[in-house]
Amino acid sequence: MTDLPPSIGKYKVLAELGRGAMGTVYKARDPVLGRLVAVKTMSEALLVDEEMRGRFLREARSAAGLQHPNIVTIYEFDPEAEGGPFIAMELLDGRPLSELMDEKRLTRLEDKIKLVEQVCRGLDFAHKRGVIHRDIKPGNIQILPDATAKILDFGIARRDDATLKTKTGLVMGTPNYMSPEQIQGVTVVDHRVDMWAVGVILYELLTGQRPFESGTMTTLLYRIVHQPFAPLDARKLGLSQDLIELVDRSLAKEPNARFRDMAEMAGELRKSLGVSASVDILSDEARERGFKRNIEFARSLLVRGQPARALEAARRAQALEPSRTEVVKLIEEIESRLESLAGERTVALSAPAPPPKPVASDVDKWIDEARLALTAGNRTEALRIVEDVLALEPRSKPAVELRELLQKPAAPGRAKTGQHRSYAQAEALLKRALSFKEQVTFGEKTGPQVIAMAPHEEVVAAGGSDGSVRLWDLRTRSKMTTLRSGMHKRAGHEGLVTCLAFSEDGRFIASGHLDGAIHIWSLDTGDELRVRLGHEGAVGAIQFSPDGALLASGGMDATLKLWDVSTLELGEARRRLIRQPAGVGSLTFARDGVWLVTGHANRILRVHDVSSGRLIATLRGHKAAVSYLTVSSDGNLLASGGQDRSVRLFDLQRRSEVKALEGHKRAISSIAFFPDGRHIASVAMEDQLIVWDLETGRPADTQWGDTDEIFASVQIFAGGQQMACALTDGRIRVWMTS
């Protein structure tokens, strides 16, 4: 047996999981987080092949940006590691779909359809981001114990004994699942090669055999390209005509005869089970608009010497309109440019491309269009153009500033000019219900991003950028102690603290971290509980239930976990896992702990029944990721903050939005209700704290920071007479009513 390397990068190798012509996969342990990972290395034979190395690096860079419940998560990629590039990714339980199919473990039609639907959704997510798998097959789909399907080896197609090579270069894929255009060596293939492969898998799941079989490679390839497959027998297999037509369409020889994209195929799969499609199908107008924007952007990036980013933009255009000749030719040109550069330099995943300078041919031109639309009084059209620009260039300052202008409410009678009421003027005219003055500022420069108030309001906790948690006595403004995890004590630092929570009885404090770790300390002893908790991605939010029985945590790995506090004290990490459709950036208990509300990266709020984990309702309103949640003391009013810079209020009884508060310039980072339920305070990583009058929807008071001061987190004392806020320079400021 081949000797195992002791380590790869920082990862300690434990065992070999598999070996092939492309490389080797090892089981390893992350010494920092203590989690198990899978580490894939590139074979020595391919390291000297500049074309394959360049492809490996480019595709790994793309795959690393894919965060989806049905795609394996990539944690790290090091293109310059000693011994060659490696990829560290999530180590999955469960079994490959190929094994389950061989053992005929899947018997229910509904289970088969749901698995294929998950694969379609994962692929659609990737295709919309310009990434094509090229080697979809049952062996590259892992089925977890909870029946979740995970796509493996994304964008890193292997070359093994059964892989073909044509005059145009390597043709990626496994023959039984390769599309006709792959076999024919078409220079540019699009996302519909993955659709064909999914169609083959679906056919195989329904019939127990592949649509094309042969004892020789030559005959197999000829049949895939030229011969029809055996039609499905609806009566014999117990299938609906809709499902049979779906299979026929996905396995059409001509790509243009297949579905337009995987989202459409996923919707048809659901409909075949008599379920509403619930898939966002773009209108023809939206497709054309997105296609035009992306292809123009790809061309400008290519001119500016950024072919890797140009290819991503061109792939996005192709995913919208795959049959357009102009995008096919553009991709050919870009890939030719990349191949010519492969021997000159290596595209490193860890170093993102610098933002391009806007030029009049693309971003500036579209911004001018938006301004013209606003001048003409068409705010909706102006905002649509700006959102299109930001989808391509999130850092475009003119687009960001114009969106801020457009999202503020226009003054009556002035909408056509785009002029707006000044919030400062509105505030000056408002009779304030509350007015605060600064009482004291204290603390240490540890860069806290978040604070939490103990239930008895004598202690405030501040999470530092070094991963520690400092406890401060509010009466004396003196530091009581610094809580450090075991990792922090050994290394001197840990991932930044993203969230803090006290238990209702004041016995425990929990901290969530950017590296996915969760720590709990007993405030009676000051000791950390000896139990390992966490997520595979950054922890977005944590909160103890009102009865103290549960600790809820949400992560950017798209999971919600409910930890049993009684077992945590015994050193056992018992929890319930509730998978989510997108990363969890915020959460809060409501209705005395009966409900749990989560806010997500996909802009949606989800209301869960805590006892069953069942989804009760979804709430919509934000135009960007939800960043903070809190609920009023009576449990009826939910306040949510978003990266769209708005605070939105929802009536939980009616499950509807009742008001939107706009006035911040940045993403909302913290919100707190006043005890009267008529006011809230909010901060947004900027120099102002706003106290809102919920009846009028206007600021009742605004507290400004000094030069370079930024407010990160806010808490309200139970009496409503004091506010505490964390500053990013490490201090804590307290205000009291004047």
**Residues designated as active site:** 135
- Rounded to whole angstroms, the Cα distance separating 521 from 502 reads 10
Strand residue runs (E) in 432-468: 436-443, 450-453, 459-463
> Tokens 């939005």 — which residue?
657
Helix (H) or strand (E) holding 671: strand 670-673
Q: Which residues contact 424 (CB under 8 A, 6 or more apart)?
A: none
Q: Which residues contact 489 (CB under 8 A, 6 or more apart)?
A: none
| Biggest CA pair distance of the chain | 87
- Rounded to whole angstroms, the Cα distance separating 253 from 242 reads 19
- Rounded to whole angstroms, the Cα distance separating 472 from 597 reads 30
DSSP string for residues in 543-583: EE-TTSSEEEEEETTTEEEEEEHHHHTTT---EEEEE-SS-
> Tokens 């003409």 — which residue?
376
Q: Which residues contact 290 (CB under 8 A, 6 or more apart)?
A: 282, 316, 317, 320, 388, 391
3-state class (DSSP) for residue 531: coil
- Rounded to whole angstroms, the Cα distance separating 520 from 502 reads 10
Q: Any idea of the CA torsion for 596, 577, 122, 606, to the nearest 10 degrees? A: -10
- Rounded to whole angstroms, the Cα distance separating 119 from 177 reads 15
The angle subtended at Cα 598 by Cα 593 and Cα 602, nearest 5°, is: 170
CB atoms within 10 A of CB 354: 8
Strand residue runs (E) in 177-327: none
CB atoms within 10 A of CB 392: 22
CB atoms within 10 A of CB 698: 16
- Rounded to whole angstroms, the Cα distance separating 518 from 588 reads 17
- Rounded to whole angstroms, the Cα distance separating 201 from 208 reads 10
Q: Any idea of the CA torsion for 393, 394, 399, 403, to the nearest 10 degrees? A: 140
- Rounded to whole angstroms, the Cα distance separating 220 from 222 reads 5
Q: Token pair for residue 331?
A: 């991709």
- Rounded to whole angstroms, the Cα distance separating 626 from 114 reads 28
- Rounded to whole angstroms, the Cα distance separating 555 from 585 reads 7
Burial of 683 (0-12, 13-18, 19+ CB in 10 A): buried
Note whether 579 and 68 are within 8 A (CB). Answer: no
Q: Report helix, strand and coil shares of the chain as percent, to nearest 5.
A: 30, 30, 40
Give the residues across from 671 on adjacent strands.
Answer: 682
3-state class (DSSP) for residue 167: coil
- Rounded to whole angstroms, the Cα distance separating 714 from 641 reads 13
Burial of 355 (0-12, 13-18, 19+ CB in 10 A): exposed
- Rounded to whole angstroms, the Cα distance separating 242 from 580 reads 29
Q: Token pair for residue 171?
A: 């043709």
